[in-house]
Structure 1
């Protein structure tokens, strides 16, 4: 997992831990993906165990409205202690993976501590009521903090040891699987499911087609297409992980998603009212185009309560496609061979299953396993009750990842990346998404094929 250290560092670290040569060979054979699955599994199993014993997970509070809230709630001694305790647990878990895979745990611990502090700052800024109202979540500030640090100062070696964005992202994605349950798909009903299938499929292929027309490489195109068609940042992260994509490109797409979300949150609810679009249709439209449940809820609230319910249900049905997309993208990408210039082309001869397995991102298996367990092995009430805790733990991993991504991305290269073509692709595909989803929201929720859903 670590490429920062010499073999001597690896040997010394493992010897200090009392690990035998036989174990060393096995542990060092575990890839970053497998460590993500192991850590994700430990976290999920721990939450399940504690829940079964009547113990709930308490995570730090970050939501605040005014300075009184900030000092008396967020910066209160008990909450600061909770932040420190949470960081210590994450350090122990990730540090164990680093140590057992041969990394320098001392340097990692120092770097991780700084990254965790920066991630906490991004949570506090994004937790402000006014900031979150405009759709500016912690992701924006984590990226900006990381980019500022990575571009203004020389990153020291002890910090580089902890800048492991893919490791953090993949661990978070395994936990994300617990929130993708079949009950959400059932709740969406047939109109929501059909809308999700038609919208995701058409927008994904349109976006990839446009990327290729503009000579944007397939790696970029897949991340862009997934972000536009499914659910924004989360889908972009999953797609990038499935193809082991360039972190600069993920950072670029994430920035585009967040920038586009702000005008969409304002303009779309206005359009629903101005053009007298039925509230249930407007809600389904918002759910199919806006990228997070939070933004769908905020925009739907401007329209009305029915729009909120229809929007959230439409968004749930679309979110289910994260796992499906990750699985098929990973298999498709495994059959492609990267050229020296980074552009992927189909191999002349299809590789065997062994090659596909070697290239297949193992974290996807952890993601799917978590989804299956929470869909079919747990009672719906139990799965729902654990959602808040697991979501909170996942967002910590994602915050660490976006701080790291920002540090690894040079702002000058982000601005110049492929001459602005990816940005043009994203905006055009998003416009197509807006009009295409509105059409199908009318057809499916407007009473043309099915009775108008009753969300009263």
Structure 2
């Protein structure tokens, strides 16, 4: 226990708590994190960066970038000093690493690369690769790989700042806060969606994981180090689940990151195919279609986008048959299912850490290795669980902090003839609730830590060695698993739990 307080796990938890703690300040009317730089999907470079909060609009995008860099530099340098490192050396090399990784992150948000079909019109683009902003992760990995493989001496110079495990662990601790708010927000909605969504993902996840692991081990002869993160990446969500699994089984950091990259790429394929398949075959079962998106599309951004696209396509076809449904219910179902899937990250880390210590890496002649289970368990998951629990509790006890009240419809009032020419003031968009606003701001840092992770791992990865270990076969396993059984099991379970459940009819049609 004492040694844990001098590890990267502890530093990750402290940094994560600091950032999510600042995210709580909007609850008391103070905004201490809104200066963080948010990267938006862009076509005009001048519109790519902006402060996360309008409160700091005067700071401009470049100003918020400078503030974010300075905050990370100071916080991480102090942390490195507590670990016995050289903060001065770290600061110089982190500056260059941050600049390169952030450039990749920004480039990944370019409209023609990132915009999903539901956002193309707003950006004024006629086509896009539709990779979402998570394309920045791929570009960061590629950038790191290019440097690491073409200039090994440069990659070695970065070594002091290439702390991939510290970055990803901190990001996952922050991730817990956002999931806690999402869970609290959904808990105030329809109970049938919550219960059925939870039941569906438990069943689907346990089936997915076992089958992917079996296929990778039995037919493609992957080691457990590769098979377990692959199974988690396909079963839960690419980045966080695969890396947390890798930590639980003590896999090399590069293994789950390569898995995560495949997840991002194939999520785009799913996003282009599944919504249109749902429109064709599931127009009479909109909630089945919505749950299917959440169970099958494996990254958060692509899953939420798929739910939005599917709702627009299915609702349009249903309207042709005289069924006009209330908007938002399909998107809610997709989001709920995906959030519950994400919550399994911490649970599964505990399970796998125990299994690996007790059965797979157990030493002969020993009983239940409780000490080994404790040592193997990734301690930063405690931070993830705690941030999730705190934000969930706050969201449940203060629902007004996570869910904006619906606008109340008022009966039209008589207007005097002489006043009819006066234009009514435009309706203001509903204010973002305080806690949700704070977690959106802290999530800026979660994404930055993730992109730093991808770039750092690229620097340390030998592409020839990875290919020899079976990177090509890894993609083949993913294709076979995804199209061979993952999407079909997801469809079957969605049908089982949501068949016959319909969104309410829109008020104009006489529905509730």
After TM superposition, the score normalised by the length of structure 2 is 0.76
1:437 matched to which residue of 2? 490
The counterpart of 1:219, out of the listed 216, 219, 225, is: 225
Deviates more, 1:181-190 or 1:371-380: 181-190
Counterpart position of 2:9:
33
Equivalent residue number for residue 22 of structure 1: none
Q: Distance in 2 between matches of 1:43 and 1:429?
A: 37
Deviation at 1:130, TM superposition (A): 2.9
Alpha-carbon distance in structure 2 between the residues aligned to 1:455 and 1:312? 20
Q: Which has the larger radius of gyration?
A: 2
Secondary structure at the aligned position of 2:131 is classed as coil
CA RMSD of aligned residues (A): 2.5
Separation of aligned partners in 1, 2:294 and 2:259: 20
Say if 2:38 and 2:444, in contact at 8 Å, map to a contact too.
Answer: no
- 1:239-286 Cα shifts (integer Å, max 9, x gaps): 123333212212320221122112111111121123345332211111
CA distance in 1, matches of 2:378, 2:304: 33
Q: How much does 1:50 deviate?
A: 6.2
For 1:399, the equivalent position in structure 2 comes to 451
| Shift in alpha-carbon separation, 1:260–1:377, aligned structure 2, 3 A | same
2:53 aligned with 1:78: no
Answering whether residue 290 of structure 2 is matched by residue 283 of structure 1, we say yes
1:27 Cα deviation after fit: 8.3
Provide the C-alpha distance between the structure 2 equivalents of 1:217 and 1:73, rounded to a whole number of angstroms.
42
CA distance in 2 between partners of 1:328 and 1:453 (Å): 36
Query: Quick one: distance in 1 between partners of 2:71 and 2:471?
Result: 43
CA distance in 2, matches of 1:81, 1:350: 58
How far the C-alpha of 1:454 sits from its partner, in A, is: 3.8
Kept in 2: contact 1:184–1:316 (CA 8 A): no
Residue number in structure 2 paired with 1:161: 160
Aligned counterpart, 2:376: 359
**Aligned counterpart in structure 2 of residue 102 of structure 1, from 81, 84, 89:** 84
Structure 1 contact 233–291 (Cα < 8 Å) conserved: no
Query: Aligned-pair distance for 1:28?
Result: 9.2
Q: Distance in 2 between matches of 1:287 and 1:425?
A: 21
Match among 131, 141, 159 for residue 135 of structure 1? 131
Deviation, 1:185, is: 6.5
Residue 212 of structure 2 corresponds to 207
In structure 2, the CA distance between the partners of 1:38 and 1:301, relative to structure 1 (3 Å rule), is closer
Equivalent runs, 1:314-333 vs 2, <5 Å: 314-333=337-356
Structure 1 residue 345, shift from structure 2 partner: 4.0
**What SS class does the counterpart of residue 304 from structure 1 fall into?**
helix
Structure 1 residue runs without a partner (length 5+):
1-25, 337-343
Match of 2:179 in 1: 180
- Alignment pair present for 1:452 and 2:453: no
**Structure 1 pair 455–200 and aligned structure 2 pair: CA distance change class (3 A):** farther
Of 215, 238, 242 in structure 2, the residue corresponding to residue 236 of structure 1 is: 242
Residues matched between the structures, number: 419
What is residue 18 of structure 2 aligned with on the other side? 42
Q: Which residue of 2 aligns with 1:13?
A: none
**Which position in structure 1 is the counterpart of 2:465?**
413
| Superposition deviation, residue 427 in structure 1 | 2.3
Rounded Cα–Cα distance in structure 2 between residues aligned with 1:197 and 1:72: 41
- The Cα of 1:72 is off from its aligned counterpart by 5.5
